[in-house]
Chains A and B, each alone.
Chain A
Amino acid sequence: MNRILLVLLLVVIHAPVAARGTGDLGLVIERASGSVQIVETSGNTSIGRIEGLGDLSHASVVYSRDERYAYVFGRDGGLTKIDILNNEICRRRLQSGNSIGGAISQDGRLVAVSNYEPGGVKVFDADSLDLVADIPATWGAAQQRSKVIGLVDAPGHRFVFSLWDAGEIWVLDLSDRAQPLIEKFGEVGRNPYDALITGDGRYYIAGLFGEDGMAMLDLWNLKSGVTRILPGYGRGEQKLPVYKMPHLEGWAVAGGFAFVPAVGRHEVLVIDMRNWREAGRIPVQGQPVFVMARPDGRQVWVNFALPENDTIQVIDTQTLDIVKQLKPGKGVLHMEFEPRGEEVWLSVRDENRIEVYDTRSFERKAVIPAIRPSGIFFTARAHRIGL
Chain B
Amino acid sequence: MIRSAWLALSLLAAVPLTAGDVIPGTRQGELVELLIQDCGSCHGLQMKGGLGPALLPASLHGKSAEYLSAVILNGRPGSAMPAWNGLLSPDEARWIAERLLQPDLP
| Contacts of A55-76 to chain B: CB distance below 8 A | 55-58, 75-76
A98 and B49: CB pair below 8 A? yes
Please count how many residues in chain A sit with their CB below 8 Å of the partner chain's CB atoms: 30
Tell me which of B45, B48, B83 contacts A241 (CB under 8 A): B83
Q: Which residues of B contact A372 (CB under 8 A)?
A: 37
- Report the stretch among A84-92, A105-113, A134-142, A242-250 that lies at the interface: A242-250
Question: Secondary structure at chain A's binding surface: helix, strand, loop or mixed?
Answer: loop
Q: Which residues of B contact A243 (CB under 8 A)?
A: 38, 82, 84, 87
Q: Does B86 contact A (CB under 8 A)?
A: yes
A57 and B45: CB pair below 8 A? yes
B44 → chain A, closest Cβ, in Å?
A: 6
Give the residue name and chain of the A residue nearest to B82 (CB): A241
Q: Does A147 contact B (CB under 8 A)?
A: yes
Give the residue name and chain of the A residue nearest to B42 (CB): A245
Q: Does B50 contact A (CB under 8 A)?
A: yes
Q: Does B41 contact A (CB under 8 A)?
A: yes
Q: Does A334 contact B (CB under 8 A)?
A: no
Q: Which residues of B contact A244 (CB under 8 A)?
A: 38, 41
Interface 1/0 per residue, A19-35 and B, CB below 8 Å: 00000000000011000
With A55-B46, A116-B51 already in contact, the answer to whether A307 and B80 are too (CB < 8 A) is: no
Q: Which residues of B contact A210 (CB under 8 A)?
A: 78
Give the residue name and chain of the B residue nearest to A210 (CB): B78
Interface Cβ pair total, 8 Å cutoff: 64
Q: Which residues of B contact A331 (CB under 8 A)?
A: 37
Q: Which residues of B contact A307 (CB under 8 A)?
A: 87
Give the residue name and chain of the B residue nearest to A32 (CB): B45
Question: Secondary structure at chain B's binding surface: helix, strand, loop or mixed?
Answer: loop
Give the residue name and chain of the A residue nearest to B46 (CB): A55
| Contacts of B48-100 to chain A: CB distance below 8 A | 48-51, 75, 78, 80, 82-84, 86-87
B41 and A58: CB pair below 8 A? yes
Q: Does B36 contact A (CB under 8 A)?
A: yes
A296 → chain B, closest Cβ, in Å?
A: 31
Q: Does B21 contact A (CB under 8 A)?
A: no
Q: Which residues of A contact B87 (CB under 8 A)?
A: 243, 306-307
Q: Does A303 contact B (CB under 8 A)?
A: no
Q: Does A209 contact B (CB under 8 A)?
A: yes
With A32-B36, A241-B82 already in contact, the answer to whether A116 and B45 are too (CB < 8 A) is: no
A245 and B48: CB pair below 8 A? no
B48 and A98: CB pair below 8 A? yes
Q: Which residues of B contact A358 (CB under 8 A)?
A: none
B105 → chain A, closest Cβ, in Å?
A: 21
Q: Does A349 contact B (CB under 8 A)?
A: yes
* Extra inter-chain contacts (16) besides given A100-B51, A117-B49, CB under 8 Å: A58-B41, A58-B50, A75-B44, A76-B44, A97-B48, A98-B48, A164-B51, A193-B80, A209-B80, A241-B75, A241-B83, A243-B38, A244-B38, A306-B87, A307-B87, A372-B37
Q: Which residues of A contact B (CB under 8 A)?
A: 31-32, 55-58, 75-76, 97-98, 100, 116-117, 147, 164, 191, 193, 209-210, 241-245, 306-307, 331, 349-350, 372
